[in-house]
Structure formats: C-alpha cells, structure tokens
Amino acid sequence: MSPAIALQRAAAWLLRGAAGAGAPRAASSAALPGMGGALLSPARGLQGREAAGFLGIWGGPAAGGGGSWWFRCAASSVPRPGLLMEQLLVGGGRSFATGAAPEEVSFSPAAREADVSQPEKSVGTADKTMLGDRSLKLVSGVCYLPHPDKEETGGEDAHFIWDEQAIGIADGVGGWASYGIDAGQYARDIMSNAVTAIEEEPKDSIDLTRVLEKAHSSTTVPGSSTACIIAITNQGIQAINLGDSGFIVIRDGCTLCRSPVQQHDFNFSYQLQSGNSSDLPNAAQVFKVPVASGDVIVAGTDGLFDNLYNNDITAVVVHATRAGLEPQVTAQKIAALARQRAQDKNRPTPFSTAAQDAGYRYYGGKLDDITVVVSYVTAFGNS
C-alpha cells in the first residue's frame, strides 16, 4: 500500500470514528444507481482527484502538534500554485466533529507557495480597493431548481438574501421523507431563524457563529440539513459552513478560495438536527476572506458542487460578468449547467470522482435539488 493511500485511509477512519447516530444519511452507497449516473461495480483501491482539479494531502503529526493530523489542500482548480489552507484536526481528528470550537480558516487574497511558513504576498492592491469600513455590499440573485421528482412539493433546499449584507443556503436531508416528514421544512425553518438571528446582531459586526447557534436552537421541527451563511463585514466576508453545501470566491477569472466539504463518509455529510443527536453548530468551519469590488461569490447546495467543477463555475461567471449580466441571470446559467451535467450519465463530475474514490465505478452526474446564490461584491454607489 502506498503512503498516500495509507494516509487517506487513516484520515477517513478518523472522520468515520466521529460519526454518530441520529439523522438519516443522505443516501447510502447502495442507493447510488438512482442518482442519475451509472454504477458498474466496486473499484479496487482509491482513485485520485486529479480530474476534479483538486489537490489534497493528509499528514501528521503536525510539527509540534503532539499527534495532531493536518489536511492541506489547494483551494483552487486553476493549474498554478494554489491558495493553501491548513485545517488542524486536533486530538486525532475527532474533536473537530464532536464538540471543538469552530475551526477558523483565513484566506489570503494572494496565492501562496507550498511552504506555508513563507509570508503572504499582496496582490492587486493598486487596482483593487480592499474593504476598510463597510464600503462594499453584496448584490445577489438566486436560482432554485428542485429535483424533477420533487417539483410539486417544492424540493428540500432553502435560502435567504438579506439586506445586501448576508446570504444563506441549506439542504434538507431527503432521508426524512421515508418517515413521513417534510425533509425541506427543517431547512426552511433554520434559514428563517438565521435571518431573525442576523437581525439581532450589530449590523456592522455580525457574529455568524452566534447566528448559527441561535438558528439551530430555535429550529425544533423534525428533520436535518446542511447550513452555509455568508456576510460581508468591515474585514471582508466571513462565512460559516457545516456539511456539503458551500461557496466559491472568484476574482478576475480565477478561484480565490473554495470551502471544503464536511462529511463523515462518502455521501454522508455533516448535518444539523434539532436537539443534540447529530452534528452541532460548533462542528462548523468559519472562514474570513478579504474581498474587493468586482469579486464574485457563488454559494450552492451539493446539487451544484456535486455536478460542476470549480472551473465550470468560474467559466460561467467570467462569461456573465463580461456580458454585464445581473447576478440572478448568472445564477440561472450556473444552475442550468449543473442540471445538464446532473442528467449526463457519461461525463465525469465531482460526485462521480468522489464515488470512485470511495470504491465505486460511478459515472455521470447526480440528480438533486440545485440552489445557486450569486453575489457580486460591489462598492456602495454602484448598482
């Protein structure tokens, strides 16, 4: 067994050890054939993620970490030195999922070399006015495409756009439907409660960790969901994410950063549930990203990120911004492309790559609800 595979398997074991009982899994591997792609047979070994443009390395113990494991990934699909992020998994990788304070990740506005000890380099400050006071806003638009089988009930995703300052998305776990429970109600309620919590925050200093904790404690209907909330502040954007929804920040046609997926196992993402029987808000990741006018944020549920690679999303954004399209039209174009890929049984997708990594020969996309929120970072005074 190669060292890389051994490290990957050890890391997967550590994360699986943190998974608890509670909410239904989004889908088991046995359900793969119904997802729109083609499952042939279990594959031997682990496949790489080169097709996804994703580079990731598990390792450990971290320098001076006393047995901690670390994960380093290039948060860019562009084939050049990528922006590096390090996420420490303290205490053997278990405490992050079971009660540690949210891991905070800060992204530099510049790409960094593989040696993360090197100082960050500044980029683009001559032609990019970085956020000092809150001189920037989020001009946002959304597109939601329910799963074709769920159009009559409205699907299970939810979202909000609040006052040109914050956006949020949630993906209800479909497994609840087998218990006669509306799998989307929890997602809708937690987003509604998140808006209420945001409105109680100081407008110039929104604490998203507190927002998510309040939203979770206020949501009492049965069900579970992922959650991703993003707000613009006087330091840039801050975001909090739990599960396999997420966001990507694009600048000048390149991926500035991308939130990683949180999952216990293949197709089994972190999820919030009323009470304490599933993952809790303190398992979420917190991000701080310096932004500039002209940057574009694309947030989405897994219906987006399971079917489109970073460079697919970036290409649509570049075309749309050059054509002067509004955020809602850009969101519609991204969602339409994601739905097209979801229905293609032959084209590689991030989901098929992940399935192959988990030991399945699965091809094509994954039909699902698709929510896309596109936010243009815009200076006040500009439309």
Per residue in 39-91, pLDDT (tens digit) is 433 332 223 333 333 222 223 233 333 333 333 333 323 222 222 222 322 22
Number of compact structural domains in the chain = 1
**Residue closest to 351 by CA, chosen among 71, 16, 27:** 27
CA-CA-CA-CA torsion sign (176, 182, 184, 190)? negative
The DSSP H or E segment spanning 13 is: helix 3-16
Cα–Cα distance list, 179 to 23, 152, 176, 222, 301 (Å): 11, 19, 5, 10, 23
DSSP for 155-208 reads -SEEEEEETTTEEEEEEB-GGGGGGT--TTHHHHHHHHHHHHHHHTS-TTS--H
Domain CATH number, residue 325: 3.60.40.10
Distance CA 229, CA 211 (A): 9
Tokens at 91, concatenated: 């205490």
Distance CA 105, CA 194 (A): 22
Write 55-60 long-range contacts (CB < 8 A, 24+): 55/82, 57/4, 57/7, 58/7, 58/8, 58/10, 58/11, 59/7
Residue 324 CA to its chain's centroid (Å): 26
Tokens at 184, concatenated: 């989307």
Q: What is the pLDDT of residue 383?
A: 64
Q: What is the pLDDT of residue 342?
A: 98
- Residue 64 within a domain: no
Distance CA 228, CA 212 (A): 9
- At 319-365, the pLDDT tens digits run 999 999 999 999 999 999 999 999 999 999 999 999 999 999 999 99
Report the largest interatomic distance among the alpha carbons of the chain, rounded to a whole angstrom. 59
Mean pLDDT to the nearest integer, 98-109: 44
- Residue 231 within a domain: yes
Say which DSSP state 38 is in.
E
Axis-axis angle for helices 310-322, 327-342 (nearest 10): 140
Cα–Cα distance list, 71 to 8, 10, 52, 58, 261 (Å): 10, 12, 18, 5, 13
Q: What is the pLDDT of residue 282?
A: 96
Q: What is the pLDDT of residue 382?
A: 74
**Cis peptide leading into residue 61 (ω within 30°):** yes
- Residue 107 within a domain: no
Say which DSSP state 330 is in.
H
- Residue 374 within a domain: yes
Distance CA 144, CA 373 (A): 9
- At 273-325, the pLDDT tens digits run 988 888 999 999 999 999 999 999 999 999 999 999 999 999 999 999 999 99
- Residue 100 within a domain: no
Write 40-43 long-range contacts (CB < 8 A, 24+): 40/361, 40/362, 40/363, 41/360, 41/361, 42/359, 42/360, 42/361, 43/356, 43/359, 43/360, 43/361
Phi-psi region of 99 (alpha: psi -120 to 50; beta: other; left: phi over 0): left
User: Is the separation of the CB atoms in 120 and 106 below 8 Å?
Assistant: no
Structural domain range at position 249:
136-379
- Residue 284 within a domain: yes
Percentage above 90 pLDDT, the chain: 61
Distance, first Cα to last Cα, the chain = 56
- Residue 36 within a domain: no
pLDDT confidence band for 233 (50 / 70 / 90): confident
Which of these ranges, 46-60, 136-150, 196-210, 212-226, has the smallest mean pLDDT? 46-60
Tokens at 187, concatenated: 């997602």
CB atoms within 10 A of CB 181: 18
- Residue 315 within a domain: yes
